[in-house]
Structure 1
Amino acid sequence: MNRRLLLKLAVAFLAALPLAMPVAAADKVTVFAAASLKNALDAANAAWQQETGNETAVSYAASSALAKQIEQGAPADLFISADLAWMDYVAEKKLIREDTRANLLGNRIVLVAPKDKAEPVEIREGFDLAGLVGDGRLAMGAVDSVPAGKYGKAALEKLGAWAAVEGKVAGAESVRAALALVSRGEAPYGIVYQTDAAADPDVAIVGTFPEDSHPPIIYPVAVLSESASPASAAYLDFLKSDKAGPFFTEQGFTILK
């Protein structure tokens, strides 16, 4: 076979090839996560992407709102709730893969005030929170739906302070929205997670609620039944791993294993 014929065959072969070889797309995991997780989870997700090349898309909101969105068919791969009740809610509707469910993190609730007006408060049975709030408002997550609000109400009831302060409560759509009211000086006090307080330099913790004054604060996680991402299971394993742990503990969460 002469050189001219070889050249023609080579040109014909190259012409038959696609202009560009297909590149495998990175898997994306869509996560619905409690608003209080934002700082820690954003950091963990950056590490996950750097390690695997896979991306995450996170929707942060109150666990109640996210659970309702999942119920209505919103496309997501994982749900991380700030309490057991809302995970139970989606589980009862067969919207999670039960074998993937795990208790991931723990937290504490605290009383916060604007940093420039912060004075220590002794949180104990019978303490006069209503007197401290005065003519202002107590910022909390909505007490009938937002987990931080439910924990806060339970604690105040246990300590005998709820009845006097109930009429002063400014119920917010999420714990981060309650935090913002205090941070902006629109409320003299607020009840949030200690991890939220750590994320905002304009507020200070003035007191911590006794752990026995409210149900244990537990963040469960699970892969959703309709998850279509091949990376969902690996991402969940990452969240439970020692690699992800420091991102959560640095924000004040405790690791539950």
Structure 2
Amino acid sequence: MLRQIKPLLIALLLALTATPALAGEIRLAAGMGMKEVLNVLTTDFTKAHPGTTFIKTYAAAGALAMQIENGAPIDLYISADTKWVNYLQKKNLIDGKWVAPFAWNDIVVVGRPSLKIGSMQDLTKLKRIAIGNPTSAPAGESAMEAFRNAGIEKQLAGKLVMTRDILQCLMYAETGVVDASVVHLTEALTAKRSKILYTVPHELYTRTPFTMAVTNRDASNGDAKAFFRYLESAEAKGILEKYGYLKE
């Protein structure tokens, strides 16, 4: 009798602790720098889909990928670096049928308006430069690649300030904690005190699109897939362009 009851208790416990997506609920995870535009996009989507609610998590792309790998309840993941989507896909945590480019971006140098930056070499004249942590922030990884390819990596040793995410990186430039920061163009356009000083040449770093993907957490989650389709629409792309995201 006890042998028969035990499997039933285990099954009941699993049923009680499972957290399937509720109807109309979309769990969205994306980089901190996308917060503003995604707030607009999700609001626009809910107007056309009353009853839809979003539970949003914003953090560095790598940190979010690790959360998903460890079982975080995420339905739709948007990464500034395709690498992390590919990583999760190899772990069978991403639905390969639901992966697509979200948008493109540039990396730029922002800092005090009085500074003059006309080349990568000019960065070596600065005392402190902030970048997102390259292990988890795609803009920081791109910055380091650009420094290496420009031949200035050794000259910047001891001058780089690593930040937890791209918004902290921008804040350091805005408050004068550093002379300049390397951020995505979309974040730079929100700056109030600092200004864009220089656009890092595309040939110096591997340029990949921001990528969106539906996870395998709940294969029946049609709401996440509906939002995915909306993000591919002309309406959504028009909003993205207003916030500085590029077509390619």
TM-score bucket of the superposed structures, by smaller chain: 0.7 to 0.9
Where structure 2 has 5 or more consecutive residues not aligned to the other structure, the ranges are 1-21
Report the alpha carbon displacement of residue 102 of structure 1 after superposing the two structures with TM: 0.7
- Tell me the distance in 2 between the aligned counterparts of 1:38 and 1:118: 29
Report the alpha carbon displacement of residue 26 of structure 1 after superposing the two structures with TM: 6.2
Q: Which residue of 2 aligns with 1:28?
A: 25
Report the alpha carbon displacement of residue 34 of structure 1 after superposing the two structures with TM: 1.4
Residue identity in the other structure for 1:50: K
Alignment map for 1:1-257 (pairs within 5 Å):
27-53=24-50, 54-114=52-112, 117-124=113-120, 127-131=121-125, 133-134=126-127, 137-227=128-218, 229-255=221-247
Moved more, 142-151 or 225-234: 225-234
- Percent identity between matched residues is 27
- Find the residue that maps to 1:128 and give its secondary structure: helix
- Tell me the distance in 2 between the aligned counterparts of 1:145 and 1:52: 33
Q: Is the 8 A contact 1:30 1:58 kept in 2?
A: yes
Q: Is the 8 A contact 1:118 1:206 kept in 2?
A: no
Return the TM-score normalized by structure 1. Answer: 0.83
Q: Is the 8 A contact 1:106 1:218 kept in 2?
A: yes
- Tell me the distance in 2 between the aligned counterparts of 1:104 and 1:238: 11
**Which runs of at least 4 in structure 1 moved beyond 6 Å after TM superposition?**
none
Residue identity in the other structure for 2:138: P
Bigger Cα Rg: 1
Residues 118/143 of structure 1: CA separation in 2 closer, same or farther (3 Å cut): farther
Moved more, 228-237 or 179-188: 228-237
Report the alpha carbon displacement of residue 153 of structure 1 after superposing the two structures with TM: 0.6
Moved more, 222-231 or 237-246: 222-231
- Tell me the distance in 1 between the aligned counterparts of 2:84 and 2:58: 15
Give CA deviations for 1:195-228 in whole Å, capped at 9, x if unaligned.
Answer: 0011222221000001111001311111000036
Q: Is the 8 A contact 1:128 1:161 kept in 2?
A: no
- Tell me the distance in 2 between the aligned counterparts of 1:202 and 1:73: 40
- Tell me the distance in 1 between the aligned counterparts of 2:87 and 2:157: 27
RMSD, aligned α-carbons: 1.5
